[in-house]
Amino acid sequence: MKQLFLVAFIFSIPFLVHSQTQKYHSSFIEHFTDSTSSYFTNGSTGNKSPFKYKQGVTSSAEANSKILSFRIDPADSAGAGRGPEIISKEFTHFGTYSARLKVPKVGAIQPNVGAVVGYFTYHVDSLPGLSEIDFEWLLADPTIIYIGTWTGQNGKLKRIGRTINLAKGEIYDTHYREDHNGVRTPLTGMQNKPETIAAIENYDASAQFYTYGFDWYPDRIRWWMLHPKTGETIVLWEYKGSTKGIPQHRTRYRMNFWHTKDWSVETNPLSLEKPLNTYELEVDWMSYKPVKGGSK
């Protein structure tokens, strides 16, 4: 019996050491004014083109602002992470995440481009699997925002998601599904708030900087943005009433920009073309504020 205990203890040592040495970010705001970051590292798995990722460069939209510049490389293959991407150096967990950014304006140049901007969290542990919360924009129609989560293990992923046309004030879809091609089940009640949303006049994520964020708690997630004129917090989706679809474990904080050949924007089924130019995403700042106990 004593031998079995010793064997179990020995095999548990790596887990104990790993658990004790895990590092989590405390509150921070990264303004990207310097050429390097204290909080993020370059995480692109695609070409190592130096123009893809630069910090401390002057914004093309705001001459007095220094930004994180992502430029997509037309030579990169399709797939998330192949384009420019930053990943937090340490883990994050429950808390408030926010960022100010402007997606590339490409409609007049390449209306059928297949390109995605992602502002999100993402990390996979063997158990319980994926922890992801996201904002996404497809450049072919920057009036639309995709928000949601992915949880679960590979092959058994679970998605809650909402698609909004903010220029029209129209919620296209709020649903739950299993894996990428599962049947979409509409969400109702407390999982579908607000049920309507007011239009933001002339909203276009590529026309100017906007501030977006999400509040992540064990029992609810709230996606929001600030109104560009009034500064009022606009709730895009507050999901609660069920823990299904709410990540519970650690993650990494990220931003990326990549080519998709399989996912077209809601309003344009032709928008799958490979990017023809080095379109630029501008990020003014990203912040994170954990809730008490959020790094357990």
- List per-block mean pLDDT (blocks of 10 residues) for the chain, which spans 296 residues: 37 38 92 97 96 97 96 98 98 98 97 98 95 98 98 94 98 94 94 98 98 98 97 98 96 98 98 98 98 58
- Give the model's pLDDT for residue 205: 98
Q: Which amino acid is present at 164?
A: I
Query: For 41-45, which contacts have Cβ atoms below 8 Å and span 24 or more sequence positions?
Result: 41/86, 41/87, 41/88, 41/89, 42/84, 42/85, 42/86, 43/81, 43/85, 43/86, 43/87, 43/254, 43/256, 44/81, 44/82, 44/83, 44/84, 44/85, 44/256, 45/81, 45/82, 45/85
Q: Could you say which of 3.40.50.920, 3.40.50.720, 2.60.120.200, 2.40.30.10 is the CATH number of the domain covering 30-290?
A: 2.60.120.200
- Give the model's pLDDT for residue 293: 54
Q: Is the pTM of this model over 0.85?
A: yes
Cis peptide leading into residue 275 (ω within 30°): no
Cross-strand partners of 144: 165
Q: How far apart are CA 170 and CA 151, in angstroms?
A: 26
Q: How far apart are CA 18 and CA 184, in angstroms?
A: 38
Q: How far apart are CA 10 and CA 18, in angstroms?
A: 14
- 251's tokens: 């993650």
Mode of pairing for the β-strands spanning 66-71 and 170-178: unpaired
Phi–psi pair at 244, nearest 5 degrees: -60, 125
The alpha carbon torsion through 232, 233, 237, 239 (nearest 10 deg) reads: -140
- Give the model's pLDDT for residue 1: 40
- Give the model's pLDDT for residue 181: 84
Q: How far is CA 122 from CA 51, 194, 247, in A?
A: 24, 26, 10
